[in-house]
Chains A and B, each alone.
Chain A
C-alpha cells in the first residue's frame, strides 16, 4: 500500500486540499476506487462498492463546488459505511445470507446527515453477521484481513470499517458499537474509533442488534476527523425515540482550539480491575505503562480508581445483549423482505428461513437470549443482569466523581490470527475492557497507543468519559495522539 497518494491522509487534510483546488472530487474518488481495485483482493473489506455511483456523486460535488454551491467544506469526500447502516438504494445485508439482496428504500439518519454535507457513501463494509462477533470471521460472505498483517483478523464487529480506514480505502468510515465493535477493531488496526454517548447519534436506519447498547460512531485516521464526523452525524432525531434532545456539535472546534495544549489540570483515573490480574499480554502492558507516563508528562494527575463490578460485565452484557437481540431478530422471518425458504406452512417457513439464513454465532446468541428471557429464568438471569447493570453504572459514576477521564487498555491482546480463537466463551471474555462502557451509556475512544514489541501489531489505548462529555474526551485524545 506504500506509495498511494492518499495513504493515511486525514479527511480534514483532504478537505483543505480540495478547497485549495489541488485536485477535483472526481479525481479523489477515482484514486480511492483504483486503490481498492488494486488492494482489496487481499484485504476483502468491501461487500459491495458501486464505482459508477460514487463517481456520479463526485462529479455532482465538483459541479456544486464550481458553482460556488458546495454543501460544506467536505463536499465530495468519500466515507465507507458498515453494512448494518442503511443507505438509500444500496444493499444492506448485515453480512447475513438472510438479507443478502435487500435494498434499503431510505437513508439512515447518519447517512442522510453525511449526504447533506456532501459526503459520499463509499461502499458497504464487511462485518460480523448482525454485528455479533469480535473478529469479522462471522461474516456469511468473506473474512476481512487486518491490513497491518494479512494473517490476522481486523477485529469486529466493525472489522471491514477498520480495515477500510487502515488500508486507506477511504479517508474515514462509520461503524457501530454495541460492546466494543468500533473500539476493538480500531485498536487491532491502529486507527481511531469513537463510541459516542448512548443517544448522541440517531439509531434510525441502524439495523438493531441490542437496542439499549447500539451506537453509531466514526472510525478515522486522527481525532480531529472523529470530531468532524461526530459534528455531522450527532444531534436529536425525532425518528429515534432514544435520541437525546441536547445540543450537539462544536466537537471539531473544541479539538482545533485546543491543539497542542497539555493535559494540565486533568485528572486521569486508572481502574485497577483493568490492569492487575486482567491478563494483559506483556506488549499491551508495556504500551499502557508508556501511555500512563505520557499522561503525566503532558501534565495530567494520574490516580488509581476502582470499578469493582468489572468482573461481572461480560456476563451482564451477554445476557442483556442477547435478550435484546433475540427480540430484535424475531423480525427476520422471510415474509416481508429477505430470503425465504418455503416450508409446509407459515411456522415451518419461519423455522426453515431462520435455520438457513442465520449463521452459527447468530443462532447461538438468539438461543441464549431466548433462554434468559424464558419462563423460569427471567428473574434469575435477565432481571438480575439489569440490576447488576445498575451497579456497573454506579461504578462509573463513583469513579468520575474523583477523575475527569479513565485510561484503560482496549483489549488484553493484539489482533489474533484467523481461527486462533474458536471457543465462543473465550471470544466473549476478550471483550472485557469495552463492554462496560455500553452498559453504562458513557462515551469512549480508542486511539493508537504504540506497538506490541513481540509482533509489531498496533496496541490501542482507551479513554472513557462521562455521558455527553465528548468534547473533553476528544480534546484529551487529540493531546495524547500528538504526544504519541
Chain B
C-alpha cells in the first residue's frame, strides 16, 4: 500500500491542538517516519482474527444503584482555573463571533 499523505493540520484540528509553524514542520517529519513504521502491520494476515480491545476478560461490570455523596462542591471547584461568584466554573464564550459581555 502506498504511504498515505498525512494532513497534520487537519489532524491537529481534530485534536484541538495549536501548533507553531516550527512544531508543525517537525511533527510532519516525525509522523511520516512513524506512520511508515506502523504501516508494516499491513503485511500481516489478519483474516478471521478477532480484535483484542482489552487484556482483562471482563464485561458488564455493575455496581449497586445507590446514591453516593463523594465530594463537597468547594473541593471539586478548588482546581478550577476561573470561577464565577465562587460557586460555578466560568467558561469562555461558547459560540464563536463577536464578544458578548
> Chain A interface (Cβ within 8 Å of chain B)?
101-103, 105-106, 198-199, 212-213, 238, 241-242, 244, 309, 311-312, 314-316, 318-319, 326, 330, 333-340, 342-352, 354-356, 358, 360, 363-364, 366-368, 370-372, 374, 377, 380-381, 383-391, 393, 423-425, 428-429, 438-441, 467
Contact = CB atoms under 8 A, between A and B. Distances in A.
A425 B51 contact: no
B11 A370 contact: yes
A362 to B, nearest CB: 9
Interface in B1-59: 1, 4, 6, 8, 11-12, 14-19, 23, 26-27, 30-31, 33-35, 37-42, 44, 46, 49-56, 58
Interface string B72-96: 0001101111100000010111111
A105 B71 contact: yes
Contact of A315 (B18, B40, B49, B61): B40
A441 B55 CA distance: 5
- Give the interface residue-count category, chain B: 35 or more
Contacts of B41: 312, 315-316, 319, 381, 384-385, 388
A350 B46 CA distance: 38
B46 A391 contact: yes
A343 B38 contact: no
Contact of B58 (A241, A336, A349, A368): A241
B49 A326 contact: no
A367 B8 contact: yes
Contact of B92 (A241, A342, A372): A342
A440 B46 CA distance: 17
A441 B12 CA distance: 31
A321 to B, nearest CB: 11
B95 A334 contact: no
B38 A315 contact: yes
A326 B15 contact: yes
A389 to B, nearest CB: 4
B38 A319 contact: yes
Contact of B46 (A106, A388, A428, A439): A388
A364 B52 contact: no
A363 B50 CA distance: 31
Contact of B79 (A102, A316, A371): A102
Contacts of A354: 15-18
Nearest to B60: A241
A363 B78 CA distance: 27
11 contacts: A199-B58, A242-B54, A312-B44, A339-B81, A345-B97, A347-B96, A364-B34, A380-B42, A391-B46, A393-B55, A425-B30
A358 B19 CA distance: 10
B16 A345 contact: no
Nearest to B43: A312
A306 to B, nearest CB: 16
B63 interface: yes
Contacts of B92: 342-346, 348-349
Contact of A345 (B27, B58, B93): B93
A101 B96 CA distance: 29
Contact of A387 (B15, B30, B39, B50): B50
A234 to B, nearest CB: 14
Nearest to A361: B30
A390 B49 contact: yes
A367 B51 contact: no
Given A198-B56, A377-B4, A368 B31 contact: yes
A380 B39 CA distance: 9
Contacts of A387: 44, 46, 49-52
A443 to B, nearest CB: 11
B83 to A, nearest CB: 11
For A244, A326, A330, A425, which residue has the most chain B Cβ atoms within 10 angstroms?
Answer: A425
Contacts of A350: 16
A342 B92 CA distance: 7
Contact of A199 (B4, B8, B55, B75): B55
B52 A105 contact: no
Contacts of B17: 351, 354-355, 358, 363, 366-367
A384 B80 contact: no
A356 to B, nearest CB: 8
Given A241-B58, A367-B8, A333 B82 contact: no
Nearest to A384: B41
